[in-house]
Amino acid sequence: MSVTDLPALDVWVTSNCSACERTLRVISACETLHELVDIQVHRLDSAGAAPPAAVVGGPSIVFFGSVIALGTPDCSALTARIMSMASSRPTEDGSQ
In a domain? residue 95: no
**CA R_g for the chain:** 13
In a domain? residue 96: no
Candidate from 1-5, 20-24, 33-37, 56-60 with smallest mean pLDDT: 1-5
Phi and psi based region of residue 10 (left: phi greater than 0; alpha: psi -120 to 50; beta: remaining) = beta
pTM of the full structure: 0.85
In a domain? residue 93: no
In a domain? residue 30: yes
In a domain? residue 65: yes
DSSP H helical segments within 1-96, as ranges? Answer: 18-29, 31-36, 75-87
CATH number for the domain spanning 24: value is: 3.40.30.10
pLDDT in tens, 15-44: 999 999 999 999 999 999 999 999 999 999
How many folded domains does the chain comprise?
1
Domain that holds residue 28: 3-87
